[in-house]
């Protein structure tokens, strides 16, 4: 096949994928707006902003940028923490929050902070997503059952149970039927399952006249574009929104980068984190100016785009055009969608997150199980934002707890080679006479410096037999803070007081430079035991100490 024919084929694949995912994206945009407690047009306008900006500026050929379940839930939680006001003022607050979220993305792009997602550990993010899916599903139940109930999950569930006699079973049956159909249609990934189910729901609602039986409809959707404007808010409101926007940007980028990177690895594509920051920043700023929802690259929409056969970002642009045609021609019909059917679309969209397989490795490895459970429990008990902050705080505390424990290995020589390995792991390795080689297994910093070097002193004093030389390997500490430098200086002075020579080995350049300054007076002393700083291996440090002893 010629290059031009192959290109033409790829374009048709992108057009086909765009047609396919448009039927998924429009129902989800309306559904996610309901999660965020916003009118449907906020989700639809966010969809346009995300698809157009990422199509023009993004790097991934599969990513679909639109409103996501996570962003909608975080938006609802953030707005719940703001003081009340008129509907128009709250819309201004939403716009301000989304604009500031985009501004944080753009600042991160300028500062080249593509690795910012590392602030949230993967077990925390996966536990958060799992708990968030549970929250989103539970919060759909009042609309499905036709009862008034709200608040946090711990209050919502008892409230629903207390009103069991008022449940609308027609709405519940409609939701279950729509869900079953969505899961059946999931196998045929090229079919617009969401659009088909909504069309059937509209038909069923009109045929059975469900509105007369207490089943609510979505209602009128007004897509009236005005000139983008910057919200007029007080300085206090901008300050509060900036705090919320930082958390929202962090969650959005962690979710987006996770989806983008997964499909890049799968297909061997390069990733461009900074370019994606620019695209996400522009998309959220535009969405905010249009008074729409925040946007990110959701895993489910991106997965559907890849499964539909997309080969480039053209698929997203085609989807935007198709959604535009639907909005211009069929929008009044979408307003007739029964709320239980829309709830089914939401539940189906987040159902992939409830798969416990993604959490199973942490329990099998016996690592970070507490983080996963803390993230899930935090979201359920404290809400979306506070729950995430609790989980992040626990992850940082556990990290500090682990790093604060002094890890010290004694090294020995392996056979006749010059390899020095951990004695506890290699029985054939032997400690050398008159030489003690220690290695810090964790980075040295202010939390563990005193304890680690106190342990080193204790091991030195417990060493049986004659001892003349000590080597401390600092390969795990690329740089040293002030507390660590002071502790190392005290340790060096102690070793020399014992009449022993000391070498600090495997020093990285920043650590070597600061130790040259901090230990300068001890290094200058010619009489007595040697004190050496070495950027070389442990074996080379052994030779340096032997040479220094020979010169004495």
- The pLDDT-based confidence of 283 (bands split at 50, 70, 90) is very high
Q: What share of the chain is helix, strand, coil (3-state, %, to 5)?
A: 65, 5, 25
Q: Please name the residue ranges forming H helices in 290-413.
A: 299-307, 314-334, 339-350, 360-364, 369-382, 384-404
Tokens of 458: 């204790």
More confident residue, 265 or 438: 438
Tokens of 261: 């990177």
Q: What is the pLDDT of residue 134?
A: 87
Pairwise CA distance, residues 183 & 176, whole Å: 11
Tokens of 489: 């200086």
Pairwise CA distance, residues 255 & 72, whole Å: 13
CA distances from 381 to 121, 132, 135, 231, 463 (A): 20, 11, 10, 33, 52
Pairwise CA distance, residues 263 & 269, whole Å: 8
Say what percent of the chain tops pLDDT 90.
15
CA distances from 460 to 379, 453, 464, 490 (A): 48, 10, 9, 14
Tell me how far the alpha carbon of residue 126 is from its chain's centroid: 8
Pairwise CA distance, residues 204 & 210, whole Å: 8
Pairwise CA distance, residues 431 & 59, whole Å: 54
> Is the pLDDT confidence value at 232 over 60?
yes
The pLDDT tens digits of the residues spanning 112-130 come to: 887 665 666 778 878 888 8
Pairwise CA distance, residues 279 & 285, whole Å: 10
Q: What is the pLDDT of residue 211?
A: 65
Mean of pLDDT values over 206-220: 71
Residue 463 DSSP SS3: coil
Mean pLDDT of the chain: 83
Tokens of 12: 């048709």
Q: What is the pLDDT of residue 254?
A: 80
- Cβ atoms of 472 and 440 within 8 Å: the answer is yes
Pairwise CA distance, residues 212 & 464, whole Å: 90
Angle at 480 between CA 477 and CA 481, to 5 degrees: 140
* φ, ψ (nearest 5 deg) of residue 488: -65, -35
Residue 425 DSSP SS3: coil
> Is the pLDDT confidence value at 357 over 90?
no
> Is the pLDDT confidence value at 418 over 70?
no
Q: Which string of DSSP letters, residue by residue, matches 117-148? A: GGGS-HHHHHHHHHHHHHHHHHHHHHHHHT--
- The pLDDT-based confidence of 70 (bands split at 50, 70, 90) is confident
Pairwise CA distance, residues 94 & 76, whole Å: 9
Q: What is the pLDDT of residue 224?
A: 66
> Is the pLDDT confidence value at 99 over 90?
yes
Q: What is the pLDDT of residue 203?
A: 85
Closest C-alpha among 459, 257, 216, 429 to residue 340: 216
Beta pairing class for 501-505 and 531-533: parallel
- The pLDDT-based confidence of 46 (bands split at 50, 70, 90) is very high
Q: What is the pLDDT of residue 381?
A: 86
Q: What is the pLDDT of residue 2?
A: 58
Q: What is the sign, positive or negative, of the torsion defined by CA atoms of 369, 371, 375, 377?
A: positive
Residue 44 DSSP SS3: helix
Closest C-alpha among 199, 188, 231 to residue 97: 231
- The pLDDT-based confidence of 225 (bands split at 50, 70, 90) is low
Q: What is the pLDDT of residue 116?
A: 64
Pairwise CA distance, residues 195 & 29, whole Å: 12
Which of 220-234, 297-311, 410-424 is the most confident on average? Answer: 297-311
The pLDDT tens digits of the residues spanning 455-512 come to: 999 888 888 678 888 989 898 888 899 999 999 999 998 988 888 888 898 899 999 8
Q: What is the pLDDT of residue 151?
A: 67
Quick count: other Cβ atoms within 10 Å of Cβ 38? 23
> Is the pLDDT confidence value at 229 over 80?
no
Q: What is the pLDDT of residue 375?
A: 84
Pairwise CA distance, residues 298 & 326, whole Å: 22
Q: What is the pLDDT of residue 209?
A: 66
> Is the pLDDT confidence value at 220 over 70?
no
- The pLDDT-based confidence of 326 (bands split at 50, 70, 90) is confident
Mean of pLDDT values over 245-259: 85
Q: How many CA atoms lie within 13 A of 253 on its CB side?
A: 33
Tokens of 439: 């290695």
Closest C-alpha among 117, 40, 83 to residue 241: 83
Q: What is the pLDDT of residue 336?
A: 80
Q: What is the pLDDT of residue 537?
A: 81
Starting from the edge strand earliest in sequence, which strands make up the sheet with 434-440, in order? 420-422, 408-413, 434-440, 467-473, 501-505, 531-533
- The pLDDT-based confidence of 372 (bands split at 50, 70, 90) is confident
Beta pairing class for 467-473 and 501-505: parallel
Q: Is 28 exposed, middle or buried (0-12, 13-18, 19+ CB in 10 A)?
A: buried
Give the position of tokens 């430079």. 513
Tokens of 529: 């035991």
DSSP letter, residue 469: E
> Is the pLDDT confidence value at 306 over 60?
yes
Q: What is the pLDDT of residue 118?
A: 61
Closest C-alpha among 136, 205, 206 to residue 177: 205
Pairwise CA distance, residues 96 & 237, whole Å: 9
Mean of pLDDT values over 215-220: 74
* φ, ψ (nearest 5 deg) of residue 226: -110, 170
* φ, ψ (nearest 5 deg) of residue 205: -65, -40
Question: 525-528: long-range contacts at Cβ-Cβ below 8 A with a sequence spacing of 24 or more?
Answer: 528/496, 528/499
Mean of pLDDT values over 303-328: 86
Helix or strand holding residue 439 (H, E): strand 434-440
Mean of pLDDT values over 334-344: 82
The pLDDT tens digits of the residues spanning 179-211 come to: 998 888 877 656 667 778 888 888 887 776 666
Tokens of 319: 């989807």
Say what percent of the chain tops pLDDT 70.
91
Angle at 453 between CA 450 and CA 458, to 5 degrees: 120
Tell me how far the alpha carbon of residue 150 is from its chain's centroid: 28
């Amino acid at each position: 096949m010629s290059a031009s024919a192959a290109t033409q084929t790829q374009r048709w694949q992108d057009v086909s994928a765009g047609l396919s995912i448009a039927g998924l994206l429009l129902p989800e945009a309306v559904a996610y707006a309901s999660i965020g407690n916003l009118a449907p047009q906020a989700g639809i306008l966010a969809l346009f902003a995300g698809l157009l900006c990422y199509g023009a500026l993004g790097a991934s050929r599969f990513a679909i940028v639109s409103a996501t379940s996570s962003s909608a839930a975080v938006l609802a939680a953030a707005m719940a923490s703001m003081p009340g006001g008129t509907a128009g003022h709250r819309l201004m607050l939403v716009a301000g929050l989304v604009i500031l979220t985009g501004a944080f993305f753009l600042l991160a792009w300028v500062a080249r902070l593509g690795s910012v997602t590392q602030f949230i550990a993967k077990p925390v993010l996966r536990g958060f997503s799992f708990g968030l899916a549970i929250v989103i599903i539970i919060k759909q139940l009042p609309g499905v059952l036709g009862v008034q109930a709200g608040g946090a999950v711990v209050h919502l569930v008892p409230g629903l149970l207390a009103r069991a006699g008022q449940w609308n079973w027609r709405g519940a049956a409609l939701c279950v039927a729509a869900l079953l159909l969505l899961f059946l249609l999931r196998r045929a990934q090229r079919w617009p399952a969401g659009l088909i189910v909504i069309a059937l729901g509209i038909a069923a609602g009109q045929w059975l006249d469900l509105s007369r039986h207490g089943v609510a409809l979505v209602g009128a959707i007004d897509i009236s574009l005005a000139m983008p404007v910057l919200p007029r808010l007080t300085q206090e409101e901008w300050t509060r929104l900036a705090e919320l926007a930082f958390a929202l940007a962090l969650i959005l980028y962690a979710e987006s980068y996770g989806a983008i990177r997964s499909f890049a690895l799968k297909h061997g594509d390069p990733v461009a984190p900074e370019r994606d920051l620019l695209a996400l920043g522009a998309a959220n700023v535009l969405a905010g100016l249009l008074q729409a929802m925040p946007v990110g690259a959701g895993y489910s929409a991106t997965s559907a785009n890849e499964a539909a056969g997309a080969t480039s970002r053209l698929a997203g642009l085609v989807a935007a055009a198709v959604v535009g045609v639907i909005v211009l021609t069929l929008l009044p019909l979408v307003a007739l969608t029964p709320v239980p059917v829309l709830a089914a679309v939401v539940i189906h969209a987040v159902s992939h997150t409830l798969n416990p397989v993604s959490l199973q490795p942490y329990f099998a490895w016996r690592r970070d199980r507490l983080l996963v459970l803390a993230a899930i429990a935090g979201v359920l008990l404290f809400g979306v934002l506070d729950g995430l902050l609790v989980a992040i705080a626990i992850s940082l505390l556990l990290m500090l707890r682990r790093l604060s424990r002094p890890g010290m290995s004694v090294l020995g020589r392996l056979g006749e080679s010059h390899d020095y390995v951990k004695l506890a792991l290699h029985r054939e390795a032997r400690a050398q006479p008159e030489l003690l080689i220690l290695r810090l297994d964790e980075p040295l910093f202010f939390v563990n410096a005193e304890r680690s070097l106190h342990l080193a002193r204790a091991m030195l004093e417990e060493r049986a037999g004659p001892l003349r030389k000590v080597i401390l390997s600092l390969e795990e500490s690329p740089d040293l803070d002030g507390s660590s430098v002071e502790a190392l200086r005290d340790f060096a002075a102690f070793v020399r007081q014992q009449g022993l020579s000391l070498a600090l080995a495997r020093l990285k350049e920043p650590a070597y430079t600061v130790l040259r300054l901090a230990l300068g007076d001890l290094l200058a002393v010619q009489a007595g035991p040697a004190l050496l700083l070495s950027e070389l291996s442990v074996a080379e440090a052994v030779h340096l100490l032997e040479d220094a002893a020979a010169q004495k």
